[in-house]
Structure formats: structure tokens, C-alpha cells
Structure 1
Amino acid sequence: MADTNGDKSDEKCAVKVYCRFRPLNSSEEERRDAFLPSFQSSSSVSFAGKTYTFDHLFDPEVEQSAVYESVASKLVDDVIKGQNGTVFAYGQTASGKTYTMEGSDVFQSSKSGIIPRVAHGLFQKIYEQPEHLEFIIKISYVEIYLDKIRDLLDPSRVNLPVQENRVGTSFVKGASERFVASPEEVLQIIEEGKSNRQVAVTNMNEHSSRSHSLFCVQVKQTSTFGGTTLNGKLYLVDLAGSEKVAKTGAEGQTLEEAKQINLSLSSLGNVICALADGKKSHIPYRDSKMTRILKDSLGGNCRTSIIICCSPAEYNKEETRSTLMFGVRAKTIENSVQTNIELTAEQWRVKYEKQTKKLEKLQKLIDSGSEIEERPDPEGANDNISVNEIDLHYEQITDLEKKIMILSEEKRLEEQAKMKALQEVQDVMRALEEVALSYDQKAEQASKTEQLQVQLEEAQLRSEKLSNELQTRRDDLDVFQEEVYSLASDIGNELMENSGEDETKDKRLLQEVFTHLRLQFLQQRSRINEYENFDQFR
């Protein structure tokens, strides 16, 4: 575990180089090519009259599991502890790079390569950690094709840029990241990415990779007891193979791909040479996107393992010799490894105060011009301070002040973001309240409208009923009028026939009849008027 105060110490470590020879393939056996390598020991091989020594040598009989245990198993431990690691395979096309990194079947353990074995190994080691440690694991998977970065998990994301964070670490901006919780999820991601990778048929390889693939595993470790957070990152890189156009038969698009592949591998070789030389102040990382991404892996904060994959056939003698020389140069590179500790604000404050006190003591020493006897600090530090140590402490104080300023700015921006988010939430709540009020009003209005609609329908039904009754009354009145006219006519005729009788009696009878008729007529007219008045004002 890392120091809880966040003090970092660089650990120098050389890049480890492993050499793997594949068996002769069917084409080489048909040509009856000679098997050139002679394996001297577990780390030395004699090839074309020269002996090459590496950290470990794998002959064609070595199993995939043995390669993983030697090359990557220790790196998985380091990544869990918050350090960076890289494994990449280098060699000519058809030399076994993809088989070494991915295998022929990621789901079949005997045939799976380093990447699927890392997935299983990582979770197995996490399961063995104390329960108070919690882990978050993220996966990204990109390819560099024609020096353009494409997301293999989201092919719509193309031509992604390489950028650096505030501590100078390179990363691919915009690459999608998947959170995973089991080895099976990682294997599914591997298969998904493989299906999107650029491949082509050449004379050297039926499934030649036309791009460099970078599989990145990020592990974040936190403790439920509090304290520091550790961030580890592991790059697993399958480089496209260097090619001789005359051998591969590349034409058209495949020829352009071969040129770009060789150009980017040449940039990688130039970085290796500059680092191996040790005298050059400028390292050409920016010559290609691949070398920019692998900047930490080569000469930076990372534990790096390189597997050089070689053909044993005489037909590929020159390419194999070149690959072996690449490995020899890479062995001389030295990295400086640090644990990636994410300090809390309180830990930064304690660290700052501690360094400030040291600086004050150093300043007193400078001002007095004489040695000051001091008690050893609680950590047992040596108080015999040299000028170089003074300069170093000044640099540390400056670095801490910069980091505190950065953290303060980040905190200020975070507070601004929180206030903005709070304001947005309040605006949304007000809008929701207005919507709710408007909705209630509209709901009430809709209810009233519905009630009025029902009343209107009922009134229309009554109106139709009354209209029908009115029409019936009108029809009855017409009939009654006809009866009255007929009766009046009959009475008139009868009066004329009986004109000689008693006139007084006739007049009385006539008055009674007309009075009766008038009452009946007025009664019918009154009823009709009632219906007409209601029909006008309904």
C-alpha cells in the first residue's frame, strides 16, 4: 500500500524484453525453409551466427499460459496497486503478434492470449483483496489506422485526438469507456472490438492486421476506511506488422496501409534509438500518434514489457534480424515508476504544511550562514542539509503550491458548477410548479366543460322532445280549427233552416256553442304559446 501522506518515490526499472519464436508455418514448410534459431538458454538465442540475450526466451513449444505468467502476471499486480503497465508485441507481419496478445479463441483458455488472460487474472487478484478495498474497472479499445485513431467500441467515433492532462500524461480524448464487473464482460468487449478492426489478406498473412490496436484497462482502488485513492492503468498493444511490399504483394489501398504502418513503426524505432542513446535531449514522441500515446511506456512512469515476435524461417531472416536488434536496443531503456496517488484536499494541506516547515528551517540556515542543530523530525529524516537538498525542497514547495492552486481552481469551478446546477434545479422546479398549476386549472376547466357538455346534450334532448310535442300541438290546432269551421258552418246552416223558430232560444244556444269553442281554442293556443316561448329561450 502507498504512503497515506501521498509521498511518492521514483523506482527505476528497465524495460523488459521477451522474445518469442513461432513454429514454421505451412508456406515455409512447403518451401522447405531452414529453421534458423538455436536456443542457447531460457534467455539467449543464436540466430544467423549471432547470439541475442533478452529477459526471457519462448521457443515454439511454449504454451500461452507460460507466456502470460512471465510477461503480464506481475504487471496486473502492479496495476491493482496504482501503477502503470504496458505490454506490446512487435515484429513483422505474420510473426505471431496477434496470437500472442489475443489468441485464436479468447473464450478457450488453452488458446487465449495475454489480453483475455489479463481479464481473468485481474478479477482473480481483486477477489483476493481485503473487503474494505473497492475497485472500479474501465475498459477502452481503440485502433490507429492510417495514423488516425478510431474507437473500436463505437466505430462512429473517428479521428480522435491525443491530448495530455495537467501532469503530462497522454490520453485519447473522446474514446468510449465501458465499466466492467466480470472477466466475461471483458471478453465480450474484446470480441466486439476485434470485429471492428481493420484486416486484409496479403501474401504473408490471410488475416493481416492493418492497424495498431490499444486495449486499455483502468483500475481505481479506494478504501471504505478513507485515505488515498490509487489509479492504475494497463495498456495492451498489438502493433501492426512491418512489411516488405515485395513480399506481401500489397497494392492499392493495402499498399497505402503498408506505407503508414512502416512509417509509424519507424517513428517507434526512432524513439527507441533516442532513448537507448541516452544523450539526446529531444525524444521524437510527437512523430506519430502511437508514440505520443506510448510516451509514458517508453522512458516515463510505467512498467513496460515488450514481446518481440519472430519468424524462424530463412525466408524471413533479414526481418527477424531487424526485430532482434529492435529488442536489444529496447532493453537499454529505463523508466521511472511512481504509484499514482490521488490525494484528498486534507492530505494536500498536510503535505504543504510539512514542506513549508522544512523550507522555513532551510531559510533560517541560509540566513544565519552557519549550521543549526536541530532535533530529528519524527520520521527520522537526516538534518544535514546540502545546497542541492535546499533547491530540491524549494522545487517541491513550488510544485505543491502549483498543485494547491490547481486544486483551489478546480474547487472554485466545482462550486460554480454546483451553484449553476442548483439554480437550474430551482428553475426547473418553478417551471414544474407553473406547469402543475396550469395543469390543475386546465383540468378544472376541462371538468367544467365536460359538465356543460353533458348539460347541453340534456337540453338538446329536451328541446328535441318539446319541439316534437309543439309540432303535435300545432297539428292538433289545425285539426281543431277545421272542426270549428265545420261546426260553425253546420250551425249556420241549421240556423238558416230553423229561422222561423224562437229567436231568443237560438241566440242563447248559439252563444253557448261559441263560448265553448272559444274556450277550447284559447286553451289550445295557450299551450302552443308555452312551447313557442320555451323554444325561443332554450
Structure 2
Amino acid sequence: MVKQTIQIYGRIKPTKKNTTVYSVDNEEQTGAFLEFLVPRDLADGFVNNKRECYKFRFLKVFDQAVEQEEVFENIAKPVADSVLAGYNGTIFAYGQTGSGKTFTITGGAEHYSDRGIIPRTLSYLYERFSQDSSMVYTTHISYLEIYNEMGYDLLDSRHEASRLEDLPKVLIMEDPDQNIHLRNLSLQQSANEEEALNLLFLGDTNRMIAETPMNQASTRSHCIFTMHLCRREPGSATLRRSKLHLVDLAGSDRVSKTGLSGQLLTEAKYINLSLHYLEQVIIALSEKNRSHIPYRNSMLTSVLRDSLGGNCMTTMIATMAVDRRNLDESISTCRFAQRVALIKNEAILNEELDPALLIARLKREIQSLKEELAMLTGEQRDGQLTVEEIQRLEELVKAFLDDPDPDVMLSLGPDMRKIQFCFSLLKMMIMDKQRGGNPNADGKASPTAAEREDSQQSAAEVTKLKEMMTHRDNEISILVKMLKKEKKRAQDAVAQIANTVNGQRTASQDASGLSTMPLLREGSPDSISTGHRGRAIKHMKRVKALSR
């Protein structure tokens, strides 16, 4: 928070005739002094107690020969720097009609050196934007005109084709926090200085200007040129929003002196009334014991609520015409400036979190927590990565390495296959970089996605063949066991038959004779074993066929 009073400066309008009714002293350490000398009028008589000397203090007084560049360097540049830092700023010009307010704020059209505070401030800000590459700046511009206590948008495209009465009015809306919002006032984005200057020229073209006895091109309305600035560091959710009001107030007219009538008289009444309400607000703010500030009396004071006693760093320029006929109005302007200098503002750094970036960050955090939970619960995947998944992971790793943001994350999900693959890919990249390039130390290129796919397919085929061989080995072992069982069964049958034959041979050796020999030859163990051997040979042939 920065607490400071409203900064006041004085500027003297150049005159064609030399005059000795004022003097300027800028050498004082506490500020500059402007002194007016008003000689007594003998027509009032010899006894005349009228004051002759008026002395006012300013931060600095710009005399008639001062150029626009010096005015900008002393007044607008410090306010622009504070706006870049994130504080609100306001510069407004106050003075009599024809005292040089519009020339100071907007500038003249004859020479390039006559540019005012607004175009010079725009040039300075966009130059600073281009120099500071570590920040992202976004600017929007609005241009409000207050004419006869009615607000109009000077950047409305219908301004030239429609009557002023047919244009939509800018309405003041107030939220529960007493913040002012302007309805029907457009915000135009400007990416560079040229677009911003075009918006300024468009608004000046639509502004109400008339010829009066005091000024050939008198502005008949209050105009507020506002630049909304948003500053953010890339990747950060914190941003700073600030606004800069550049206000050109309409000049006060003394009707008895100017002799206005008709529409000009109506305009003068509204101008003087709004300036009167502005002075009431200034007086109320300068008094410490006042609890109520009449901001709502006029639209001008409602819009400038923050600038007057609020969250803003405000600067006022008091413009004065030092002709003898305008001395009273110049002294009145200086008195108003002295009251303004008593007002103290409390400027706060406008820093906040970007809702969009904050939501995106929270979504990433939720996704990360979900992935961590999935890994802790043991939800894993099996199988090999597909070619599409590998290419996608390579793209993610490349984008992760190319992103300059140190807070960027490589989100792979709760899949250890992808995590391990990315680790191996990063390891290969680091090894290639250490070896001085992409080729490996032996001259071979690092494996591509196609080569990795071929190796994966070969590994799958080898695995499949191993499974087939294991299956065949199991079949062969089963057949061998079957053969052993058949062989054992055949041997048991031969032994049983041999025992039976031997018993019969002992009991009836003589009775059998030679007639039993053929039978014994047919049922002999040699013939039985020969039959079983044939079946075993058939089983072996089947095993060989299956193994092929």
C-alpha cells in the first residue's frame, strides 16, 4: 500500500502579450511557487482593502516556454511507471475554458512535437511492453464522454451515423462492494501503439466541440480516456490488473463574461454544475471529520471515485491563462488545486489469481492425484505398447523437453509400461547427447520406432515357438509313458502264458505229442512279443509324425 496526497502541477498558457501579473519560482526545495500580482483599481476609491498578492505552492510550475516533452517527463511518466507496477493511476486537467487543458492532455494537430500526454503515454507504455519479454501484457481501451450529465461511448461505431439522442447511454452500476461498473461502455483491445492511437483519434473525432467567445474549439464535455492493463508472468496464475485514467475536463464558463445563450448556455450550466459537485467532493475529502462524501451527485464524481480519495495514484494539472481579464479565474483554479493537494489516496497493488489458470492447475493436480491413487491400489496393465502409443509417448517427451516452463509436468497416467519406456527414452537421449550426437559410439543409429516394433514382433514369435516346443515335449513324454505301460503289460502277459504252458507240459507231456507243437508255436512267447513290438513301432512312428 502506498499512501500519498494528490500531486498538483501548474501550467501557464502562452500569451501573445507580455504580462507582469505573475511570477514563477521553481528553485525552492519544498516545491514551486506561483505568485499573482493584482494591482488595485483606482476606480474603487482610495480606501481599498482588496488583496494585491496571491501566492500558491505546486510541485512544479511549467511556464509558457515549456515544451510538451518536459510536461510528460515530469507528470505522466511517473504515473505510467506506477501503472506498470500494478497500481491505478489518474491524470486530470482542470482550468478555465481556453486555458490549455485539451492541448496538455491530447495535444495539438499541427506539429508532431505538440503531442499531448495521452499519445506520449501510449508510446511509452508499448515501448516498455516490447522491452520486457519476461511478462505478457494485455491492454484494453475505453473512451467515455460525459455530455450534459449523460454518458456516451466515443468508440461506438454508430456515433457518426446516428444522432446523439439515439445512441445508447452509459449507465453507472454499483456492486455490493461499492465498485463502479459502466454499462454500455465498450472495451477495445489494442495489441500495439498504432491500434491504440487509432482508437484515440476515433474518440476525438466523435467528441462534442463548439466555438465560444473564449475558445474557437471549446470542448463541451468531460472525457475520460481509460487504459486497462493486465500483466502476467508466463505459466504463473498470479496477474496484476491496473487502469490509467487520462481525464480532460470541460472548462468552466462565467456566463456574465462570455454572454452565452441557447445550446451553449445549457452546456455551460451542466459543465459548471458538474465542476461544482467535483469541488464539493474535494472539499469533503479535505475535511477530516466528514463521514459522507457526495460522490453520487454527478456522473463525473461517480466515475472518478477511486481517483479521488481511493485506490489510485492521482495527479492534477492546473492550467491557467494569465491575461489580465482572466486573473480571477486563474486564482480560483489555484485555490481549487490547493484543496486538491490536501486529499490523501491509498494505492493498493492490484494482484489477483487468474481464475482460468487456477482452474487448469487444479485440474492437473486432481489428475495427478488420481494417477497416484491408481498406482497405490495396484491397478497395472500388462502387454506390450502399441506403435501408436510409442509414437505418442515420443511426442510427449519431446514437447516436455522443448517447453521452457520449469513447472510443466509429463503426465503419463498410472501405467508403469509408459513410465518405464519414457525413462528408457530419456536415458537414450542423454547418452546420445553425451556421445556428441544421435549416432551411438559404434556408429550405429539409435533404434527407431519401426526397428523397436520389429524386435517386439520377433520376441513375440520366439515366445510363441517356445510355447509350441513345450507343448510338443509334453505330448512326447505322455506317449513314452504309454509305451512303457504297454511294454510292461505285454511282458506280464508273456510270463503268465509261459507259466501256464510249462504246467500243462509237465502234466500231459506224453498225451500231447507232436500235435500240440504247432499250437505252441503259434502261441509261443516269440509270436506274442512280436505282436506287441509291432504296436510299439506304430506308436513310435506316430510320435515322429507329431514331432514333425
TM-score, with length taken from structure 2: 0.58
- Structure 2 CA distance for partners of 1:53 and 1:306, relative to 1, 3 Å: same
Out of 15, 20, 23, the position equivalent to 1:38 is: 23
Out of 52, 56, 61, the position equivalent to 2:56 is: 52
CA displacement, residues 84-138 of structure 1 (integer Å, 9 cap, x when unaligned): 00000000100000000001129x5411000000110110111221x23111100
Out of 43, 46, 62, the position equivalent to 2:66 is: 62
Q: Matched residues in 1 for 2:8 and 2:140: separation?
A: 27
The aligned amino acid for 2:130 is Y
Superposed, which structure 2 residues align to 1:403-482 within 5 Å? none
- Structure 2 CA distance for partners of 1:226 and 1:347, relative to 1, 3 Å: closer
Q: Matched residues in 2 for 1:346 and 1:118: separation?
A: 30
Query: Counterpart in 2 of 1:117?
Result: 120
Q: Matched residues in 2 for 1:327 and 1:347: separation?
A: 44
Superposed, which structure 2 residues align to 1:257-296 within 5 Å? 257-296=267-306
Superposed, which structure 2 residues align to 1:138-149 within 5 Å? 138-149=140-151
Query: Counterpart in 2 of 1:215?
Result: 225
Query: Counterpart in 2 of 1:92?
Result: 96
The aligned amino acid for 1:152 is L
The aligned amino acid for 1:75 is V
Superposed, which structure 2 residues align to 1:226-305 within 5 Å? 226-305=236-315
The aligned amino acid for 1:294 is L
CA displacement, residues 155-189 of structure 1 (integer Å, 9 cap, x when unaligned): 36432111234543323222111111111212111
Q: Is the 8 A contact 2:93 2:105 kept in 1?
A: yes
SS in structure 2 opposite 1:110?
A: helix
Q: Matched residues in 2 for 1:326 and 1:275: separation?
A: 13
Query: Counterpart in 1 of 2:327?
Result: 317
The Cα of 1:227 is off from its aligned counterpart by 3.2
Q: Is the 8 A contact 2:169 2:184 kept in 1?
A: no
Runs (4+) of structure 1 exceeding 6 A deviation are 345-349
Q: Matched residues in 2 for 1:74 and 1:95: separation?
A: 24
SS in structure 2 opposite 1:172?
A: strand
CA displacement, residues 435-463 of structure 1 (integer Å, 9 cap, x when unaligned): xxxxxxxxxxxxxxxxxxxxxxxxxxxxx
- Percent identity over the alignment? 39
Query: Counterpart in 1 of 2:369?
Result: none
CA displacement, residues 225-270 of structure 1 (integer Å, 9 cap, x when unaligned): 3131100100000000001012223110100000000000000000
Q: Is the 8 A contact 2:237 2:358 kept in 1?
A: no
1:80 maps onto 2:80 in alignment = no
The aligned amino acid for 1:111 is D
Query: Counterpart in 1 of 2:134?
Result: 132
Q: Is the 8 A contact 2:135 2:231 kept in 1?
A: yes
Q: Matched residues in 2 for 1:167 and 1:136: separation?
A: 26
Q: Matched residues in 1 for 2:179 and 2:358: separation?
A: 21
SS in structure 1 opposite 2:114?
A: coil
SS in structure 2 opposite 1:72?
A: helix
Q: Matched residues in 1 for 2:135 and 2:321: separation?
A: 45
Out of 5, 13, 16, the position equivalent to 2:7 is: 16
Matched residues, number: 332
Out of 202, 212, 222, the position equivalent to 2:212 is: 202
The Cα of 1:277 is off from its aligned counterpart by 1.4
SS in structure 2 opposite 1:274?
A: helix
Superposed, which structure 2 residues align to 1:146-225 within 5 Å? 146-154=148-156, 155=159, 157-165=167-175, 167-225=177-235
Q: Matched residues in 2 for 1:75 and 1:101: separation?
A: 14
Q: Is the 8 A contact 1:298 1:335 kept in 2?
A: yes
- Structure 2 CA distance for partners of 1:36 and 1:158, relative to 1, 3 Å: farther
- Structure 2 CA distance for partners of 1:171 and 1:20, relative to 1, 3 Å: farther
Q: Matched residues in 1 for 2:316 and 2:222: separation?
A: 15
Q: Is the 8 A contact 1:139 1:215 kept in 2?
A: yes
Structure 1: give runs of 5+ residues left out of the alignment. Answer: 1-9, 350-538
SS in structure 2 opposite 1:279?
A: coil
SS in structure 2 opposite 1:329?
A: helix
Query: Counterpart in 1 of 2:368?
Result: none
The Cα of 1:345 is off from its aligned counterpart by 6.5
- Structure 2 CA distance for partners of 1:53 and 1:120, relative to 1, 3 Å: same
Q: Is the 8 A contact 1:202 1:249 kept in 2?
A: no
Query: Counterpart in 2 of 1:102?
Result: 106
Q: Matched residues in 2 for 1:54 and 1:172: separation?
A: 34
CA displacement, residues 455-490 of structure 1 (integer Å, 9 cap, x when unaligned): xxxxxxxxxxxxxxxxxxxxxxxxxxxxxxxxxxxx
SS in structure 1 opposite 2:212?
A: coil
Q: Which has the higher contact order (CA 8 A, sep 6+)?
A: 1
Q: Is the 8 A contact 1:84 1:301 kept in 2?
A: yes
The Cα of 1:346 is off from its aligned counterpart by 12
The Cα of 1:203 is off from its aligned counterpart by 0.6
The aligned amino acid for 2:66 is V
SS in structure 2 opposite 1:205?
A: coil
Q: Which moved more, 1:267-276 or 1:339-348?
A: 339-348
The aligned amino acid for 1:124 is E
Q: Matched residues in 2 for 1:175 and 1:239: separation?
A: 19
Q: Is the 8 A contact 1:35 1:314 kept in 2?
A: no
Query: Counterpart in 1 of 2:336?
Result: 326
- Structure 2 CA distance for partners of 1:346 and 1:105, relative to 1, 3 Å: closer
Q: Is the 8 A contact 2:142 2:185 kept in 1?
A: yes
- Structure 2 CA distance for partners of 1:176 and 1:347, relative to 1, 3 Å: closer
The Cα of 1:209 is off from its aligned counterpart by 0.5
Structure 2: give runs of 5+ residues left out of the alignment. Answer: 38-52, 360-548
Q: Matched residues in 1 for 2:20 and 2:150: separation?
A: 38
The Cα of 1:342 is off from its aligned counterpart by 1.7
Q: Matched residues in 2 for 1:347 and 1:336: separation?
A: 29
- Structure 2 CA distance for partners of 1:330 and 1:222, relative to 1, 3 Å: same
The Cα of 1:347 is off from its aligned counterpart by 11
The Cα of 1:35 is off from its aligned counterpart by 4.2
Q: Is the 8 A contact 2:168 2:184 kept in 1?
A: no
The aligned amino acid for 1:24 is T
TM-score, with length taken from structure 1: 0.60
The Cα of 1:69 is off from its aligned counterpart by 0.9
Q: Is the 8 A contact 2:91 2:314 kept in 1?
A: yes
Q: Is the 8 A contact 1:162 1:171 kept in 2?
A: yes
The aligned amino acid for 2:335 is M
Q: Matched residues in 2 for 1:348 and 1:275: separation?
A: 39
Q: Matched residues in 2 for 1:209 and 1:150: separation?
A: 15
The Cα of 1:344 is off from its aligned counterpart by 5.0
